[in-house]
Amino acid sequence: MHLVEFAFAKPHDAPELPGDVLLAALWAVCGPDDGVEHIRLHVSRAGARGAAFLLAPDGPSAVRQCRAVCRRALAVTGALSAWRLVCPAEA
């Protein structure tokens, strides 16, 4: 199992979003091949920071899986449409 940290930035004019909404958005886009076992999350006025525990063959694969889940959540969740993923950044 691998631990991958992630972070989202939100625009200053975007409404604040409760952590349970963001957490639900992340879980909603997780599929069996993503290997996500657990997600911890902290929301702030600037966005959110979290950590995902993933089953993956190696660290780089876990980072790619986490990045994919985060990007899918941003793409399909209307409340996150203006947010952006800042970590893990593209290699």
pTM: 0.91
pLDDT of 79 strictly over 80: yes
In the three-class reduction of DSSP (H, G, I as helix; E, B as strand; rest coil), residue 62 is classed as helix
Helix (H) or strand (E) holding 52, with range, is strand 47-54
Mean pLDDT of 38-60: 96
Domains of the chain: 2-87 (3.30.70.380)
Quickly state the pLDDT bin for 41 (edges 50, 70, 90): very high
Q: What pLDDT does 14 receive? A: 85
CA–CA separation, 72 vs 89, rounded Å? 15
pLDDT in tens, 11-30: 998 888 899 999 999 999 99
Count of Cβ atoms closer than 10 Å to residue 27 Cβ:
12
CA-nearest of 76, 4, 75 to 40 is: 4
